């Protein structure tokens, strides 16, 4: 937020567009890299998943569904915090009430 502290981004020149695209790219990069924290947990669950799949206990999607449903509120919370902290400060929209 302090690197791109602007309460209003102008859309008049190519330089202003570069600042806007840079802020969007940074947001996309942070969102992408934030997902890698769950990678070790996912990899550690794979042996159990494959063992239960090979013994034909339940279909594969049964094991994935609860974790996926439980991650939805966490993901919405992370996105909400990111938008709250960056949207007005960077200047995507100069009005806080929107």
Q: What is the maximal distance between C-alpha atoms in the chain?
A: 63
Judge whether 49 and 63 are in contact, CB under 8 Å.
yes
% of residues, the chain, pLDDT over 90: 4
Question: Residues 52, 64: contact at Cβ < 8 Å?
Answer: no
- With a cut of 90, say whether residue 73 has pLDDT above it: yes
Task: Write the pLDDT tens digit of every residue in 6-48.
Answer: 556 666 778 778 877 888 888 888 878 887 887 888 889 889 8
Q: What is the CA radius of gyration of the chain?
A: 20
- pLDDT for the residue 6: 59
Measured over the CA atoms of residue 15, residue 91, residue 93 and residue 10, the dihedral's sign is negative
Q: At what angle do helices 60-90 and 14-34 cross, to 10 degrees?
A: 150
pTM: predicted TM-score of the whole model, two decimal places: 0.59
Q: Is the pLDDT of residue 52 over 80?
A: yes
- Break the chain into its structural domains and give their ranges: 14-90
Residue 10 is predicted with a pLDDT of: 66
Average pLDDT, the chain: 79
């Amino acid at each position: 937020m302090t690197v791109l502290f602007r309460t209003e981004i102008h859309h008049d020149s190519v330089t202003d567009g570069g600042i806007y695209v840079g802020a969007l790219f940074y947001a996309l990069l942070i969102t992408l890299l934030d997902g890698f924290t769950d990678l070790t947990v996912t990899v550690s669950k794979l042996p159990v998943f494959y063992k239960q799949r090979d013994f034909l206990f339940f279909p594969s999607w049964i094991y994935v569904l609860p974790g996926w449903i439980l991650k939805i509120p966490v993901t919405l919370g992370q996105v909400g915090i990111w938008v709250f902290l960056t949207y007005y400060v960077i200047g995507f929209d100069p009005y806080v009430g929107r």
